[in-house]
Each structure stands twice: as structure tokens, then as C-alpha cells.
């Protein structure tokens, strides 16, 4: 009996404790539910974030592989295009070389000969040198002629001036103007005055008359104002006579054996040899060389015989 009572008292205690714990659980259920919800949401969030991170990593790997594949394909296409351009440039360069060689060969063979052109230019250079040398000789001759004419004119002017100033010649009693006592040697005009002879003036030379000096015929102009000649006049083509003009002996012409002094002078000055050399043909050098070879061959053949 006592055991039953003990059991009944224990059951009552258990019921009381059950009801207390049940009430306490009901009181804490909402808090625990919220806590569980938070834990579940956190766990699910971690799970989702881990899954999204996994997907992001896999997407990066896929993008990396795809981009590498497309870049490699684009690079291969670029390499093919560059290689094609390089081959085309090489083929074009080779074609240009072939065309240049062919055109040069065709031009040298059918259009003009290089060696003939070269020999022609060499002959032309030699001919030009010869012509230039001959022209230099002709120029030198003409220069000498001009210098001779100038010297003749200058001497004529000095002689004419000495004739006009012959009264200034020095004498034993009175020295002349050009014979200064302060000079170590006499003046040039003083020596010229001593060489020329005094000629008394006869009459004025009329206009349009011709005078001759040293074998040269020339025409006078209006030389002076009331006197014989003047050094102030022009000297181109004008000569003066140191002697008075005499009337002609007869009106008949000269004999056939005699010629005018001016014509003789022109014939002496004129050099036909140079003009004949200048009028030679262009192939004169080649002809002279061929003749020289023929002479050499004949001489060698004669020496061997």
C-alpha cells in the first residue's frame, strides 16, 4: 500500500512538473521559433552564397576558356592574314625583279645597244675636246689679232701726238716739257719725239678721205675741230696718216698684180686651216683610227715577211 501511495505521489509530482515544463516550453516556443528561423535563414544564406560562389567560379572558368579559344582563333586568323600578305609582297617583289630584268634585256637588245651608246658618247667626248681645243686656238688667235690692232692704234695715236707736239722736243739750250731734270731717265714721249721727224703741215685733210698706215686701209671721220686728227676721237676702225695727203698720180686703176693693202692684211689675218678643221665630219676620229690600224697591220705583215 505504501508503495502505491508513493507511486501516486510521484505521478502527481510528474504531472505538476510536466505542466510546469509544458507552460515554460509554450512560453519559450516563439523565442525558440524565431531563433530557429534565424539559424535556418543564416544556414540557407550560407548555402546559397556558397552555391553562388561555386557558380561564379565555374562561370569564370567557362568565360576564361571561351575567351582564350576566341583569342587563339583570332590570333590564328591574324597570323594567316599576315603570312598571306608577306607571301603576296614577296611574289610582287620577285615579279618586279623579273620584269626589270626582262625589260632591261629587251631594251638593250631591241631598242638600243649599251656598248654602241657608250662608244658613241666616248667618241663624242673626244670630238668635243678636239673642237674645244680648236676653238681655244681660234680664240687665242683672235685675241692676238685684237691685241695687235690695239697696239697699232695706240702706237699710231702716240706717233700722231708726237707729230703734233714735236715743238716740245728738248734742245741743248732748253729742256722740253717731257724731259724733266728730276727724272732719272727721259720720258717715253720724249724718246718718241726724238724718233719722229718734223713735218710741216700743208693743208687740212678733207672729210671722207682714206689714210693708210702700216699697210692697213681705214676710213677717217670728223676727227678734230680745225686741226689734223685728235686722240680724243673713236679708235674703232679709224687710222690716221702721219704724212700729208698728196694728190693722186693718175686716175687709172692699178695693175692686176697689185692688190689693196687691206685685202692683203685680211688674207694674212684670216686662217683657213682652223675653219677647215672645224668643218670636218664627226667620224673623222674613227676613220683616222681605222687608217692607223691598217698601217700597223701592213707594217707588221711586212716585218714578218
pLDDT in tens, 67-115: 999 999 999 999 999 999 999 999 999 999 999 999 988 887 787 777 7
Q: How confident is the model at residue 214 (pLDDT cuts 50, 70, 90)?
A: very low
Q: What pLDDT does residue 303 have?
A: 54
Mean pLDDT throughout 147-167? 86
Is residue 196 within 8 A of residue 163, CB to CB? The reply is: yes
Least reliable range by pLDDT among 6-15, 37-46, 128-137, 238-247: 238-247
Mean pLDDT throughout 128-157? 92
- Percentage of the residues of the chain whose pLDDT score is greater than 90: 32
Q: What pLDDT does residue 253 have?
A: 53
Q: What pLDDT does residue 89 have?
A: 95
Q: How confident is the model at residue 210 (pLDDT cuts 50, 70, 90)?
A: very low
From the list 207, 168, 209, the residue with the least C-alpha distance to 190 is: 168
> Which is more confident, 273 or 21?
21
> Which is more confident, 76 or 286?
76
Q: What pLDDT does residue 116 have?
A: 78
Q: Is the pTM of this model over 0.95?
A: no
Amino acid at each position: 500500500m505504501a508503495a502505491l501511495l508513493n507511486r501516486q505521489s510521484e505521478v502527481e509530482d510528474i504531472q505538476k512538473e510536466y505542466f510546469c515544463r509544458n507552460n515554460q516550453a509554450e512560453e519559450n516556443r516563439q523565442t525558440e521559433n524565431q531563433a530557429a528561423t534565424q539559424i535556418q535563414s543564416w544556414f540557407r544564406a550560407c548555402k546559397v552564397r556558397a552555391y553562388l560562389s561555386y557558380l561564379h567560379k565555374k562561370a569564370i572558368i567557362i568565360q576564361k576558356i571561351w575567351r582564350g579559344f576566341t583569342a587563339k582563333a583570332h590570333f590564328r586568323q591574324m597570323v594567316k592574314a599576315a603570312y598571306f600578305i608577306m607571301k603576296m609582297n614577296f611574289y610582287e617583289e620577285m615579279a618586279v625583279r623579273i620584269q626589270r630584268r626582262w625589260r632591261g634585256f629587251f631594251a638593250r637588245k631591241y631598242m638600243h645597244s649599251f656598248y654602241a651608246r657608250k662608244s658613241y658618247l666616248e667618241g663624242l667626248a673626244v670630238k668635243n675636246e678636239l673642237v674645244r681645243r680648236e676653238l681655244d686656238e681660234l680664240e687665242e688667235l683672235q685675241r692676238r689679232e685684237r691685241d695687235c690692232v690695239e697696239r697699232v692704234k695706240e702706237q699710231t695715236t702716240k706717233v700722231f701726238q708726237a707729230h703734233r707736239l714735236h715743238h716740245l722736243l728738248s734742245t741743248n739750250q732748253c729742256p722740253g716739257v717731257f724731259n724733266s731734270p728730276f727724272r732719272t731717265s727721259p720720258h717715253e714721249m720724249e724718246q718718241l719725239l726724238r724718233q719722229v721727224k718734223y713735218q710741216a703741215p700743208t693743208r687740212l685733210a678733207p672729210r671722207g678721205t682714206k689714210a693708210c698706215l702700216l699697210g692697213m686701209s681705214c676710213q677717217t671721220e670728223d676727227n678734230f675741230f680745225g686741226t689734223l686728227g685728235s686722240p680724243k676721237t673713236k679708235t674703232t676702225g679709224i687710222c690716221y696718216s702721219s704724212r700729208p695727203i698728196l694728190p693722186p698720180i693718175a686716175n687709172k686703176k692699178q695693175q692686176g698684180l697689185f692688190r689693196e693693202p687691206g685685202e692683203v692684211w685680211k688674207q694674212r689675218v684670216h686662217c683657213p686651216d682652223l675653219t677647215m678643221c672645224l668643218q670636218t665630219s664627226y667620224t673623222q676620229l674613227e676613220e683616222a683610227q681605222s687608217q692607223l690600224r691598217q698601217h700597223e697591220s701592213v707594217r707588221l705583215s711586212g716585218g714578218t715577211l
